[in-house]
Structure 1
Amino acid sequence: MKLAHILASIALVTIVVVNPVALAQEPPKLKVTPLQKEPLTGQSDKEVISLIVEWPPGSGTGLHTHPGDEYTTVLEGEVIGRKEGSEAKTYTAGQSYHNEPGVVHEANNKGSVPAKTFNVFMVEKGKPVTEPVKR
């Protein structure tokens, strides 16, 4: 009886250890460093927010929108951006891109090295900068 119990325990441990679902991990998280948040001159209902985003390999945003314009410049590495209904585009250090308000999009670092971006948002005051898209 003891041997059967030990073998059953080993089988259970083996299933848990080699099961890819059990080994699945969350993707690495983006590190966001706020730099500035100021009212937009002449438009008291809007503000400009700037930040640095550090992208570990394998990290990404998931599908989301913004309530205003997003302007991004890649400082290091590369980021793959995709607007819904469009092909993905790879942006490397020194390249910039723009996402219009309400456009569903995502960005990812699918490379093996970290990436870093400088992001500027012009959004309505009091609204979240990013809204995840639920499907």
Structure 2
Amino acid sequence: MSSLFAKTIRSVAFAALVAGSILALPAAQAQQPTGIKRTDLQRHDLSAPGREAIQVRVDIEPGVAFPQHTHPGEEIIYVLAGTLEYDVEGKPPATLKAGDVLFIPAGTIHAAKNVGSVTASELATYIVEKEKPLLTLVK
């Protein structure tokens, strides 16, 4: 392979990588509401066929709410810091502080809001169906 051909291939590959990164950025930002930061921690297949476990840290600034949504499986929440109010379909609102936990059944509509004065954080563990979107906003 000639040196010129190799340089051309590298240049085209680099340009495609940069273009792909730029195009992906707006999509990622559109999924991340202002005042909310989601950090993917781990994702693993489970022994149950078609299921996976996903852990995510979610940081929510004071006064910010995460809108109503569902997941294609169960969500187990552990509040790491701050005070969060959860509105889970069919239940009265629950206010949780650091150290509190919450279980949300598969497909249940729910929302969360930081009702405290500091950034609140939760560890969300999902036991979900593979190949489905982790989160679906309710319209």
The answer, yes or no, to whether TM exceeds 0.5 is yes
1:89 aligns with 2:104: no
Residues 69 and 122, structure 1, Cα contact 8 Å, conserved in 2: yes
2:78 to 65, 73, 78: 73
Q: How big is each residue's C-alpha offset from its partner over 1:10-64, in whole Å with a ceiling of 9 and x where there is no partner?
A: xxxxxxxxxxxxxxxxx743101111000012x2301000011111112221111
1:114 to 115, 119, 131: 119
Q: Determine the structure 2 residue equivalent to 1:104.
A: 109
Shift of 1:73: 0.3
Determine the C-alpha separation between the residues in 1 that align with 2:83 and 2:43: 26
How well do the aligned residues superpose, as a CA RMSD in angstroms? 1.3
Deviant stretches of 4+, over 4 Å: none
Larger-Rg structure:
1
TM-score normalised according to structure 1 size: 0.75
2:69 to 60, 64, 73: 64
TM-score normalised according to structure 2 size: 0.73
Residues 37 and 50, structure 1, Cα contact 8 Å, conserved in 2: yes
Q: Determine the structure 2 residue equivalent to 1:35.
A: 41
Which structure has greater helix proportion?
2
Q: Tell me, which stretches of 5 or more residues in structure 1 are unaligned?
A: 1-26
1:52 aligns with 2:57: yes
Residues 56 and 115, structure 1, Cα contact 8 Å, conserved in 2: yes
Provide the identity percentage.
37
Q: How many aligned residue pairs are there?
A: 107
Determine the C-alpha separation between the residues in 1 that align with 2:90 and 2:130: 29
Which amino acid in the other structure matches residue 31 of structure 1?
Answer: K
After TM superposition, list the pairs within 5 Å mapping 1:119-134 onto structure 2.
Answer: 119-134=124-139
Determine the C-alpha separation between the residues in 2 that align with 1:28 and 1:108: 13
Residues 64 and 104, structure 1, Cα contact 8 Å, conserved in 2: yes
